[in-house]
Amino acid sequence: MSENTELHLPVLLRVPEAARMLGVGRSLTYELIAAGDLEAIHVGSVIRVPVDAVHAYVDRRRSTEPAVRGAR
């Protein structure tokens, strides 16, 4: 792909976008940020969540939480 046609994915997400990636609500996402469980940065006066921080959060949870077997 040439540089002009290359798909550019966002590096930073708005909180609702991060919440959708995690499959949780916006309020819980803000709680995770406030608790220091999900990395976020301030860009001016807004909060953004790095995409790799979402992946890192999931990786940490997967390594510390017991696997969930089929729900019934």
pTM equals 0.79
**Would 69 be classed as within a structural domain?**
no
Low-confidence ranges of the chain (pLDDT < 70): 1-6, 70-72
- Annotate 15-58 with three-state secondary structure: HHHHHHHHCCCHHHHHHHHHCCCCCCEEECCEEEEEHHHHHHHH
Number of domains into which the chain is organized: 1
**Would you say 48 and 40 are in contact if contact means Cβ atoms under 8 Å apart?**
yes
Question: Structural domain of residue 47, as residue ranges?
Answer: 12-64
Structure confidence at residue 7 (pLDDT): 75
Structure confidence at residue 6 (pLDDT): 60
Single-letter residue type at 44: G
Structure confidence at residue 9 (pLDDT): 82
**Would 1 be classed as within a structural domain?**
no
**Would 4 be classed as within a structural domain?**
no
Structure confidence at residue 44 (pLDDT): 95
